[in-house]
């Protein structure tokens, strides 16, 4: 059985917190409070957020082209969000904020998981990240378990989880 250092376990826990717990809770709550169009536009800011966090946390060098790209992306996203003329559902500022926090949380997760991916296999990283993420999600989701239609949605639930898992593995290798 492999031994993990306390610092690595803390990093796995932080990845679970930001990559699963905060990411998913903010996403689902945000979708209930905003339109799908706003959510899609805000999620496009994820690369911008990762670029900013890379400079702050990983101390990567900031190039002029990256600054220019970040400013254009932010200006476009902010312009579309504050026009608030989408007819595709309810567009609330609180929902927009939750989706933005979702994108920020996932961006932070990508930054935090990068060193773990060079040290451990993707399966090991996913195992620990999802284990800690589950621990974080249980207190929020345990009360909603009775709302799940297991006869109808069970098959789709497992397919959705499989796609989510594969997506995370693919993002970890980038």
- CA angle (78 as vertex; 74, 82 as ends), nearest 5: 180
Instruction: Report residue 143's pLDDT band, with 50, 70 and 90 as the boundaries.
Output: confident
CA–CA dist 54, 38 (Å, integer) = 25
- Does residue 2 form part of some domain? no
Contact between 74 and 48 (Cβ < 8 Å): yes
Our count of domains for the chain comes to 1
Q: Which domain holds residue 161?
A: 7-172
**Dihedral of CA 77/81/82/87: which sign?**
positive
Contact between 29 and 98 (Cβ < 8 Å): yes
- 52-67 pLDDT, tens digit per residue, is 888 898 888 878 887 7
Q: How confident is the model at residue 45 (pLDDT cuts 50, 70, 90)?
A: confident
The answer to whether residue 1 sits within a structural domain is: no
The pLDDT, as a whole number, for residue 162 is: 66
| CA pair distance 39, 80, nearest whole angstrom | 11
Please state the pTM of the whole predicted model. Answer: 0.73
13 in a domain, yes or no? yes
């Amino acid at each position: 059985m492999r031994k993990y250092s306390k610092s690595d376990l803390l990093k796995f826990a932080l990845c679970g917190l930001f990559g699963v717990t905060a990411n998913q809770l903010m996403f689902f709550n945000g979708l209930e409070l905003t339109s799908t169009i706003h959510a899609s536009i805000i999620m496009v800011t994820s690369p911008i957020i990762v670029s900013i966090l890379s400079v702050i946390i990983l101390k990567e060098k900031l190039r002029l082209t990256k600054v220019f790209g970040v400013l254009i992306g932010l200006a476009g996203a902010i312009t579309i969000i504050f026009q608030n003329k989408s007819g595709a559902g309810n567009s609330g500022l609180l929902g927009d904020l939750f989706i933005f926090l979702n994108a920020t949380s996932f961006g932070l997760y990508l930054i935090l998981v990068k060193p773990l991916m060079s040290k451990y296999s993707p399966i090991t990283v996913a195992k620990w990240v999802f284990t800690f993420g589950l621990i974080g999600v249980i207190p929020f989701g345990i009360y909603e378990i009775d709302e799940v239609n297991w006869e109808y949605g069970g098959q789709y639930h497992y397919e959705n989880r499989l796609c989510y898992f594969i997506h995370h593995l693919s993002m970890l290798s980038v």
